[in-house]
Structure 1
């Protein structure tokens, strides 16, 4: 299936009302969890390693809640294709937005950090609607170029610019000393070529990206966390901003990396079902 076919199918499906898409999500839950058992072992291993103090029954409850939430993410991502700005603002509430505006008003750039938690894709839209200033979304390209192109077009609907990880430096240099937002999804798994820094994360030695810290120290811009949580009502979220680092020069090497990963860890422990447990986050072991 080529790019045009994927884009057409996405558009037509996105025209379906939310209630019908959520009915599809209900069906997908049973298929993913009970029929195809999508990455059940990966999720089970990740939860067991992350929460060794929890019982098997407690981890099973988290797993089922995660699989119940995952298809909601899928249908909501599809719906984004035709979602209006007013609907985006209604479905994801901004909390502590002044944490971002105060830095932009001072003429600074903002190094945003988030994770694969809650509806991070919808968060791109809400961030895009916050300001007319440049907004860079740093991403790791998909292996399928057609899907990569379609989803990048989708994410840019409200003015964001998608920037591959390996091109971030040239974009940041162009915007140096100008107010803008650069958003990093910082919980992805680096290759051995991209990072050699390990830290303890969710009870496990974890290879982590240090790019957020390097860019913050280079630009001297503040680091602001974007916590996208889910409200009780299905399909509704909040985006809470917290300034983690005001002056990057005040921190030792790898300290900023530790700070934003600790924030992510605390967020996950609070409501673990909204993190992407099906991701093979710990596949990069330390080389001997």
Structure 2
């Protein structure tokens, strides 16, 4: 009961925060950066280790510079996600611009469905919210539910404000089958760490042996739906562009695990271009230990 009470109080506090303009929230974010990085050191050991292993060619000064930029962006990300609770459609479309989404719409116009994938890069949450406001057909976003049921319900309401439908990972195939006669887009954030039971395949990613999820590839091979990669670019503070790039238009013509390799090649290219905007605080390589 006490836990539920604190959860509801927390949600109310976050809602009140969301009413502030994003420029003010970004100011709060910068204030939070200093204690988070210099005093608390939130997951600093994880971030530093991830960066050092991913970029062995960089010296200590370069690693620390990326690290500091990441933490500055990380607190921005927190407050931008809070803002999602009350952001208007007009402001959302101003802050997130999609390029080449007409490629997806061309399949919808023929009554066909597509698959999409991305990584935890930039503000993927805000970009997925904006996707629902841009597409003519439903976007089904595959996700892992939160353990706190109260926050899960609240966050799900936010994520679905502009038409997206969120599907728990374990329900993916069932939902694909249920919607097979309707043009849809199923979206995967495929750079999550699999459990040990799910870790059936590994590849070389950011200079490391990396266990990966195969859900996207399995669905693609079963349905032969074309796959697009959402390449998120941070244009300036609080503004993003999402480039819709063809990743594989004929999945059944691919070799084993070719789709998975392509996905991580696309993601690695973006990370190497601007490394600070990936979620370095995630324990991505914990299965290696």
Same fold (TM over 0.5): yes
Q: Are 1:174 and 2:200 counterparts?
A: no
1:236: which partner in 2?
A: 239
In the superposition, the TM-score normalised over structure 1's length comes to: 0.95
What SS does the aligned partner of 2:188 have?
strand
2:205: which partner in 1?
A: 201
Deviation (angstroms), 1:158:
0.8
State how far apart, in whole Å, the 1-side matches of 2:22 and 2:137 are.
Answer: 31
What SS does the aligned partner of 1:224 have?
strand
Kept in 2, the 8 Å contact 1:118–1:230? The answer is: yes
1:116 aligned to which of 115, 120, 140: 120
Deviation (angstroms), 1:251:
0.4
Number of paired residues?
285
What SS does the aligned partner of 1:184 have?
strand
Deviation (angstroms), 1:177:
4.2
Query: For each residue in 1:74-122, what CA deviation from the matched residue of structure 2 results, as whole angstroms up to 9, or x when unmatched?
Result: 1111111010111110001111112221222232211110111011010
Kept in 2, the 8 Å contact 1:222–1:246? The answer is: yes
1:270: which partner in 2?
A: 273
State how far apart, in whole Å, the 1-side matches of 2:152 and 2:109 are.
Answer: 34
State how far apart, in whole Å, the 2-side matches of 1:210 and 1:161 are.
Answer: 21
Unaligned stretches of 5+ residues in structure 1: none
1:13: which partner in 2?
A: 17
In the superposition, the TM-score normalised over structure 2's length comes to: 0.95
Unaligned stretches of 5+ residues in structure 2: none
CA-atom RMSD in angstroms: 1.3
2:145: which partner in 1?
A: 141
Kept in 2, the 8 Å contact 1:103–1:222? The answer is: no
Query: For each residue in 1:155-192, what CA deviation from the matched residue of structure 2 results, as whole angstroms up to 9, or x when unmatched?
Result: 01111111110000110001114311111011100112
State how far apart, in whole Å, the 2-side matches of 1:104 and 1:29 are.
Answer: 43
Kept in 2, the 8 Å contact 1:99–1:224? The answer is: no
1:283: which partner in 2?
A: 286
